[in-house]
Amino acid sequence: MVTEQTIDLSGFTPQQKAFYLNLFWETVGVCNAARKPRVVIGMAGPTGAGKSVVAVLFQELAKQARLPFAFESITIDAYHFPNRHLLSHFSDGVPLKQVKGRFDTYDVAALARDLKAFAAGETVAFPAYSRKLHDPVPNRIRVETPAALLLVEGLWLLSDHGDWAQVRPLLDFCYFIESDKERTQQAVIKRHMTGGRTYEDAARHYAEVDGRNSDLVLQTRHKADKVIPPYYRVE
């Protein structure tokens, strides 16, 4: 289950399984090399690249690995401004709700505040995002153990638009998942339809928001510590 939607990984090849298992242990190695109790690792990339899937997969592997530290993951979608805010605030004459997912529809200050508190060793109750409610749900993911690895996934982690420039320095390491925009378009539209949109509305949102977001996000790949392929390019 990825943000309350079922993702089927049963078709993964042995090569794909080996790739993500190795990537998981590489991430554990990055955490160990940091030599500090709390480590924040980013997973950036455009819409449909598979960031959320990798995060959930890593969580499942962490449960089996018996790591000497806690492992948790969060998504920047949980830091969207609530829909009531997006409906009442406008950009270029339209409510922000209409461009939800763009860099200016997130409470970046709250994300930065929580990441700083986590790195400082404080107990933090991170929000989650519900694709049933289409809104953030506060205080859903609680981290209080002294030693923990936090995986943060999202579009804008490497961006410098608005307040996002303050986020990259808070990441100890960041991956970037490449993506073929044409290949992922239909998958993103299907995801929107699963969430309740009509095909026409989902296609419009992709054209006006998701596709444009992807173009901007792809320009940030050079700021990542490591660029990795999407699952369909793993051989």
Polymer length of the chain: 235
Every domain of the chain and the residues it spans: 14-233
Residue ranges of the chain with pLDDT lower than 70? 1-6
At residue 184, the pLDDT reads 80
What's the pLDDT tens digit per position in 159-210?
999 899 999 999 999 999 998 877 788 888 887 888 788 999 888 888 888 9
* DSSP letter, residue 230: -
Question: Quick one: pLDDT at residue 183?
Answer: 78
User: How much is the pLDDT for 5?
Assistant: 63
178/230 Cα distance (integer angstroms): 6
Tell me what pLDDT residue 2 has.
60
Nearest to 159 by CA among 80, 102, 199, 118: 102
pLDDT of residue 64: 94
Q: What is the pLDDT of residue 48?
A: 85
Label residue 3 left, alpha or beta by phi (over 0 means left) and psi (-120 to 50 means alpha).
left
Three state DSSP letters for 138-192: EEEEEECCCCEEEEEEECCCCCCCHHHHHCHHHCCEEEEECCCHHHHHHHHHHHH
Select from 14, 205, 225 the least CA-distant residue to 97. Answer: 205
Domain 14-233 indexed as CATH 3.40.50.300:
yes
Assessment of whether the complete model's pTM goes beyond 0.85 = yes
pLDDT on residue 79:
98
